[in-house]
Amino acid sequence: MPIKTAVIGVGYLGQHHARIYAEMDGVELVAVTDTDTNRAQEIAAKHSTTAYVDYKEILDKVQAVSIVTPTSTHFDVAMDCLRAGLDVLVEKPITVTVDEADALINEAKKQDCILQVGHLERYNPAVVALEPLIKNPRFIETERVSPFLGRATDVDVTHDLMIHDIDIITGLLGGSGVTDIKVAGAQVLSDKIDMARAWISFECGTTALLTASRIARDTRRRLKVYQGGSFILLDYQSREITRHTGAEDGLATETVPVVDCEPLKEEIMDFAHCVVNRQKPKVSGAEGREALKIVIQVSEMIRDAQDGN
Ligand code: NAD
């Protein structure tokens, strides 16, 4: 029997969730829903499925959903879906507050439902290829900057961009706890934080310096890992990894092979696999909550510094 799925919210990202479910073996895209009727109908027609405006109408028709609505709605929509006993893949950030994330995690446990968070970069093939190369990193540096496009300005750049790197770093460090955070940042073009830097120390001894900005001259998405014996550079855009080690005449550089794939497809295939096999997803509600907790702390510290507190 195919898994009966639906996508709630088929805007910029949700349309791709719908496409992937529609093309996937072992899955039936039963419905798409969007509060924008025209948008719901357009995407439903594209994939020969049914459009709904109110997601509550599909709760008894499916067993698993992707929630790809604005972040401010994640909690209400996900809670309704979990209470109806559905497995949920909710886009990142999991919710607006940590208390909301905790409530979703508890409900998923109570209902024995899968709760996965859409931290897409974990499925970037370059990140997948990086994971086995990591050995007690001493220092990690990330840069995720892009020009101002006016997108996602309803949230701080920490919630929109930095959260990806926080999730990847905590994933690479096996969930090691945070011992100290220092920040710098500013609200510049929107009424939210547009650029942010965070200096985070972890219990395992690693320190990370993260930069996120939506007011940069160009787009750069990079991660550098410094560890005993090697320096590794990952470029998210070109999906390339180079590994630099010591050599007699200086540095030896090797390119690490990366198997190309569509990260969103990998993420959704992982979700479907967890639904069928009742397994814990790679990025569970707990991991999504941890990343959210850290970005909230970073944002609050930047705001306090800006307000002179
Ligand atoms: P968007 O505004 O393009 O799309 C959201 C859609 O949800 C809209 O079509 C809107 O009409 C619809 N909607 C709003 N409330 C609804 C409701 N109650 N029921 C059904 N539909 C509803 O936004 P987007 O850029 O696609 O972002 C959606 C989510 O995905 C956000 O949480 C965002 O943070 C996340 N996102 C994640 C990544 C990533 O890399 N993982 C990238 C982009 C966006």
Distance 134 CA to ligand 1 centre (A): 33
Atom of ligand 1 nearest to the CA of 160: 34
Nearest CA to ligand 1 atom 8: 11
The protein residue whose alpha carbon is closest to atom 41 in ligand 1 is 120
Closest CA to 78 of 126, 117, 45, 49: 117
Is beta strand 250-256 parallel, antiparallel or unpaired with respect to 240-247? antiparallel
What percent of the chain clears pLDDT 70, i.e. is strictly above it? Answer: 100
Tell the residue nearest (CA) to atom 25 of ligand 1. 12
pLDDT digits (tens, 9 = 90+) for 131-168: 999 999 999 999 999 999 888 788 899 999 999 999 99
CB-CB contact of 54 with 43 (8 Å): no
CA 15 to centroid of ligand 1, rounded, Å: 10
Q: Which band of pLDDT confidence, cut at 50, 70 and 90, is reported for residue 280?
A: very high
Other CB atoms within a 10 A radius of the CB of residue 245 amount to 12
CA-based nearest residue to 81, from 65, 103, 101, 70: 65
Angle between helices 98-111 and 71-83 (to 10 degrees): 20
Ligand 1 first shell, C-beta below 6 A: 8-14, 33-36, 39, 55, 68-71, 73, 77, 91-92, 118, 120
DSSP three-state, residue 286: helix
Please, is 10 exposed, middle or buried when counting C-beta atoms within 10 Å of its C-beta (0-12, 13-18, 19+)?
buried
pLDDT value of position 247: 86
Residue 309 has pLDDT above 80, yes or no: no
Query: How confident is the model at residue 152, as a pLDDT?
Result: 79
Q: Are 283 and 101 in contact (CB under 8 A)?
A: no
What average pLDDT is seen over the chain? 96
CA distance linking residue 69 with residue 275, whole number of Å: 21
Taking only the tens place, the pLDDT of each residue in 293-303 is: 999 999 999 99
**Structure confidence by residue, pLDDT tens digits, 2-54:** 999 999 999 999 999 999 999 999 999 999 999 999 999 999 999 999 999 99
Q: Is the pLDDT of residue 292 over 90?
A: yes
Which ligand 1 atom is nearest residue 77's CA?
Answer: 18
**What does the pLDDT read at residue 112?**
98
